[in-house]
Structure 1
Amino acid sequence: MEMRRLVTAMGALLYGLLACQLHAVAAEKPEELTVAKVPPYSPHRVFVTDVSFASMTDARVHVFDGDTRRFLGEIDAGFAPGFTISPDHKTSYVATTYFSRGSHGARTDVVEIIDNATLEVTGEIEIPAKHGQTVPTPYSTILSEDGSRLYVSNITPSTSVTVIDTAAKKVLGEIDTDGCVLAYPSGNDRFSALCESGKALTVRLDAAGKEASRKLSDAFIDVDKDPAFINAVRDGNQYVFTTFLGNVRTVDFSGDAPVFGTSWSLLSDQERKAGWRPGGLQQTALNTTSHRLYVAMHKGADGSHKEPGTEIWVYDTQTRKRVSRWDLAKQKIDPLLAIQVSTDEKPLFYGLTPTSDLVVLDATTGKRQHVEKQLGTTSTLLLNP
């Protein structure tokens, strides 16, 4: 009898507790899933392309705001993506590959169109299944000056460039680049590709996006004695290339024939003897408003061009003189593998360490502003302003 009363009492207690919980749940408003919009565009927003060697089929583009020092979100980017941003900053384009079974199976290459206000995919364009699967570079996937055409570099290992109409969202054609790689746009109707001979191939397009003409330049890079980094920076119609030994070459591809500037050195004879040279995956950044060229520098020997920079050297591109030298270690900042600078009148400087820390500095003084720890998962990163 006592046991029956105890069981009855426990049952009543459990029933009462359950009733209270159900009443509380019923009183709460149901959860609603919403998609928050990214804050309005800021010139201090930076996009970090992160390709993990541990999971190459699952690349990401991280979005970070240098003013609020907040991580804003990320864009899924598939396998070995190319990434670029429209001139009005409203749209991003990701050229990537998907396999039907994750890391293998039937291959599909697409350009995904991203709304930068939500970071959602709003459309896609299927492209030839041959887009170059390389370490990220700004020139593997890039827009014409007005954003009307998108160029996607291909390697199979033969080389070509797919031309896409961004308004119609369709492929216009494929241009054989005859062993030359990447695409450096000039205006809206032409691009140039770099050749292993140190020359450049410039292709002019007609109104339909088909090849109208092509011209091969003289060699402007000595690929045997002083090769150049492919990640040039742009100053108007000029591309500014930096070589492994610390020389600067400029070239203007916008005319019928390229115009090459006079080579100049980043180094004094004493600095060159001491072993200083550029290094990293994205070695230079340029603020065209202030005419400041930023270069990641390190002490090394032949073959050390991939080593991160322990210092940032700042140059005035008009006088070709160094105006500042930042020793990163003095601010407890690790060497930088990739660098970028915003394009406004009060610029911020960004750098990425080999452990994927995003470093934010004042681009005028070099003073440390913020370090976002381990923003990515690997050292293969690319910064876009």
Structure 2
Amino acid sequence: MKHRRRAAATAAAILALTYGLLASQSQAIAAEKPEELTIAKLPAYSPHRVFVTDVSFGSMTDARVHVFDADAGRFLGQIDAGFAPGFAVSPDHKTSYVATTYFARGGHGERTDVVEIIDNTTLDVTGEIVIPPKHAQAVPTPYNTTLSVDGSRLYVSNITPSTSVTVIDTATKKVLSEIDTDACVLAYPSGNDRFTSLCESGKALTVKLDTAGKEASRQLSEAFIDVDHDPAFVNGVRNGQGYVFTTFNGNVRSADFSGDKAVFGESWSLVGAADRKAGWRPGGLQQTALHAKNHRLYVAMHQGADGSHKDPATEIWVFDTESKKRVARWKLAKQKIDPFLSIEVSADEKPLLYGLTPTSDLVVMDAATGKLRHVSKQLGTTSTLIVNP
């Protein structure tokens, strides 16, 4: 009997303690204000803001674009980008465009292709434009989704495997036309009413558009690329209304796409006889960067042979585009920097050079001296492209 009374008293004490704890917790919860979720705005736009398109081969349907502040060495946020996206930033830097694909069942099912419109102050999706379900699903390049100079027209490259370009009015958010490009690929804009595509023959096709965004005329150039003996990288660099292309063997040729028919400059070489004998050549995914005002061409270089054009760079070579002479040679290993797959340079008065390594480290260097500023480790998974508007 005594044991029962003791057990009952113990149980009552435990219940009282439990109720007391619950009551105090309830009072504490009641005193706390519910958390309110808000969307913070990004800092004011800086010419040293970097966009890195990250396409993970472990999750092909879940790409993203990382946004990074190169001055502060700080990750700012990310843009969801669907499957094998194309990416472009408006001339005023306020808006980004992501051309992508979604499947109803994740990796399969009904396909929908869209251009998503991103507010660059919040990284929110503010709208979308449904486009023909044929946008090019490939390793990202600056030229599979591009804008006219004034940003009024967006060009989305298509491959089914037939090739074409979808023309979109960014103001009305309407598809204006689809231009058959006769087996020529990508869209290199010039001005506001034309773009050029590169052809498997080594020629360039320039398409002029009318005020309604329909094809007005087209002109095919002579071959300016020797596709059999010295192919060119498609990731040429913009130089005003023209472009500068680099070949697998280290030759450079300018292209002016501003007229009805493409016009090309004389070819010149990045490598002298000794460097060529030693196997120096461009390589990687985004091999060149140009600071037009300073007349500086940056080239990601490695020692290789035929077929090594995708190998990452162990050195950055800097050229004066007026004299066509090398003015600097930066050995990455000297600063304990891993090889680069992609490079880009900012366009401002105090430019920074950006490099992306095979392990997706984002490296920031002074573009005048080559001195390392900082490294952000593994910004993406298998990031393949740096975009710097």
* TM-score, normalised relative to structure 2: 0.98
Q: Which residue of 2 aligns with 1:336?
A: 340
For the 8 Å contact 1:337–1:379, the answer to whether it is kept is no
| Alpha-carbon offset, residue 317 of structure 1 | 1.0
| Aligned CA-pair RMSD | 0.8
| Alpha-carbon offset, residue 147 of structure 1 | 0.3
For the 8 Å contact 1:339–1:383, the answer to whether it is kept is no
Q: Which residue of 1 aligns with 2:81?
A: 77
- C-alpha separation in 1, matches of 2:110 and 2:30: 49
> 1:111-260 maps to which residues of 2 (within 5 A)?
111-260=115-264
For the 8 Å contact 2:144–2:157, the answer to whether it is kept is yes
Pick from 288, 292, 295: which aligns with 2:292? Answer: 288
- C-alpha separation in 1, matches of 2:323 and 2:31: 71
- What is the SS of the residue equivalent to 1:24? helix
- C-alpha separation in 2, matches of 1:383 and 1:192: 20
Q: Which residue of 1 aligns with 2:110?
A: 106
- C-alpha separation in 2, matches of 1:257 and 1:167: 28
Q: Which residue of 2 aligns with 1:309?
A: 313
Q: Which residue of 2 aligns with 1:359?
A: 363
- C-alpha separation in 2, matches of 1:300 and 1:99: 40
Q: Deviations over 1:105-154 (max 9, x none)?
A: 10000000000000010000000000000110010000000000000000
- What is the SS of the residue equivalent to 1:134? coil
Residue type matched to 1:113 in 2?
A: I
Q: Which residue of 2 aligns with 1:4?
A: 8
- C-alpha separation in 2, matches of 1:130 and 1:27: 55
Q: Could you list the runs of 5+ residues in structure 1 that have no partner in the other structure?
A: none
Q: Which residue of 2 aligns with 1:276?
A: 280
4+ runs deviating over 2 angstroms = 379-385
Q: Which residue of 1 aligns with 2:44?
A: 40
- Would you say 1:261 and 2:256 are equivalent positions? no
For the 8 Å contact 1:49–1:62, the answer to whether it is kept is yes
- What is the SS of the residue equivalent to 2:98? strand
- What is the SS of the residue equivalent to 1:10? helix
- C-alpha separation in 1, matches of 2:10 and 2:337: 68
Residue type matched to 2:70 in 1?
A: G
- What is the SS of the residue equivalent to 1:2? helix
Q: Deviations over 1:14-72 (max 9, x none)?
A: 11111111111222221110011111100000000000111100000000000111100
Q: Deviations over 1:71-107 (max 9, x none)?
A: 0000000000000000000000000000000000100
Q: Which residue of 2 aligns with 1:323?
A: 327
Pick from 341, 347, 353: which aligns with 2:351? Answer: 347
- C-alpha separation in 2, matches of 1:123 and 1:383: 22
| Alpha-carbon offset, residue 379 of structure 1 | 4.6
- C-alpha separation in 2, matches of 1:101 and 1:29: 39
Number of residue-to-residue matches in the alignment: 385
- C-alpha separation in 2, matches of 1:381 and 1:342: 15
For the 8 Å contact 2:257–2:263, the answer to whether it is kept is yes
* TM-score, normalised relative to structure 1: 0.99
Q: Could you list the runs of 5+ residues in structure 2 that have no partner in the other structure?
A: none
- Would you say 1:297 and 2:306 are equivalent positions? no
Q: Percent identity?
A: 77
Q: Which residue of 1 aligns with 2:32?
A: 28
Give the stretch that moved more between structures: 252-261 or 187-196.
Answer: 252-261
Residue type matched to 1:338 in 2?
A: S
- C-alpha separation in 2, matches of 1:167 and 1:347: 32
